[in-house]
Structure 1
């Protein structure tokens, strides 16, 4: 018996999860990408790109394709997608699991200022001009046009179009993972006073946090949004166990 699984992806864990599940002979897998990255990494599984048209559109897709399990493995800050996924699963009567990567915890020596969103982060930079490393996605950097006195270093996977409307900004195109030693060098070379980022969790982008700690540099950390409550796991191994349990016949689950 074949089980149809839809993974809402875009993260490293989503790719890893898809790779594991694609090797199962009893699984028909589709990996869905939102399309926010212009040149996503090549996937070795059937992939679709683009939105579904909200929760109702996704619910319709789940019904039309006879999907047996929906997995939300999106970025921890993809709150709208996660909310739509939870609602769509309920509308379509399809089980849902989520991969919820654990966030970073403050350690001794960290100088964090925690804020709720990018607009609050721009305010938290203060009035005096500073050299700011914006380690954020393209969708979030526009908020910093209200703090045009600062000199920004903006790192992104794809070019920022249109460019940020501030007089002093340097662009850096790069895709993680980023090692601590390289981040340490980057912060020093650009004379960075403060790092602005999201609490993405995981190891791939933690290097800048460790480097900022070592250099005594402040970090303005955007808190995670509230996500819907669904069955979840913090990593791929744990989620694979949950997937296996979910796909068993009801009589075998002990429920």
Structure 2
């Protein structure tokens, strides 16, 4: 029987890891996607879409499908599923590791304002600007709905649902984004403050350089923690090496 690995995915790194795993002999890969994006980029191997029904449902799925190890390669801000995975893996006694791309680091010229939540970001905005480039995705816009005096350019893969800011333009787009394109958005929409989550990676980093060039402040929402005791890899290659150590290969 091949080793059965469950990759909790939805990120570029998860797809890259699945590509490496399916190329290995004796490994069966199932990638699980949350289903929040209408047309996700599917990884190679088997794919399931949708939730598990909490940690108990995930544990039952791991048992029923004879999973040998779980790799949590979800988005750095998908905190709930990470804790469900830790609970489920512990319940069925299978190894678990997390794959998290490194976060961004400010450089000279950046005007970052750090916060730990979207609500915290909303509290900071009135003192920083009036035309906001909001790049935190379509979830959580309710935190900004009360800022009626501010105008928002909201970029997301799919159209957001209410509640959301009253004065808003929606830009449906998916990274990677270019520095030239981000400069043009800031110039054309007269953006004077950027809001982002610390997602890390290169695909959406050009907005930080564009904001630095324009001299505008950036509100950065920090990441939720990885569950205690879960080993963390920063790249798919590191995840493969860590997985081999955990599996005793």
Q: Residue in 2 aligned with 1:141?
A: 141
Q: Residue in 1 aligned with 2:15?
A: 15
Alignment check: 8 A CA contact 2:142 2:162 kept: no
Secondary structure at the residue paired with 1:147? coil
Equivalents in 1 of 2:100, 2:160: separation in Å?
28
Secondary structure at the residue paired with 2:243? helix
Alignment check: 8 A CA contact 1:128 1:149 kept: no
Is there any run of 5+ residues in structure 1 with no aligned partner, and where?
250-255
- How many Å apart are 1:176 and its aligned residue? 0.3
Alignment check: 8 A CA contact 1:4 1:27 kept: yes
Per-residue CA deviations over 1:112-146 (Å, capped at 9, x if unaligned) read 11111111111101168600000012112121101
Q: Which residues in structure 2 correspond to 1:233-244 (within 5 Å)?
A: 233-244=233-244
CA RMSD of superposed structures (Å): 1.5
Equivalents in 2 of 1:67, 1:42: separation in Å?
20
Q: Residue in 2 aligned with 1:113?
A: 113
Equivalents in 2 of 1:54, 1:48: separation in Å?
16
Q: Residue in 1 aligned with 2:57?
A: 57
Alignment check: 8 A CA contact 1:129 1:151 kept: no
Q: Which residues in structure 2 correspond to 1:1-255 (within 5 Å)?
A: 1-126=1-126, 130-162=130-162, 164-166=164-166, 168-229=167-228, 230-248=230-248
Alignment check: 8 A CA contact 1:129 1:149 kept: no
Secondary structure at the residue paired with 1:48? strand
Secondary structure at the residue paired with 2:191? coil
Per-residue CA deviations over 1:81-123 (Å, capped at 9, x if unaligned) read 1111111110110100110211111111000111111111111
Per-residue CA deviations over 1:1-47 (Å, capped at 9, x if unaligned) read 51000000010000000011011121111000011111111333210
**What TM-score results when the alignment is normalised by the length of structure 1?**
0.93
Equivalents in 1 of 2:207, 2:54: separation in Å?
34
- How many Å apart are 1:246 and its aligned residue? 3.1
| Count of residues in correspondence between the two structures | 248
Equivalents in 2 of 1:50, 1:201: separation in Å?
25
Alignment check: 8 A CA contact 1:119 1:144 kept: yes
Alignment check: 8 A CA contact 1:116 1:223 kept: yes
Structure 1 residues 184 and 64 mapped into 2: Cα distance closer, same or farther (>3 Å)? Answer: same
Alignment check: 8 A CA contact 2:100 2:235 kept: yes
**What TM-score results when the alignment is normalised by the length of structure 2?**
0.95
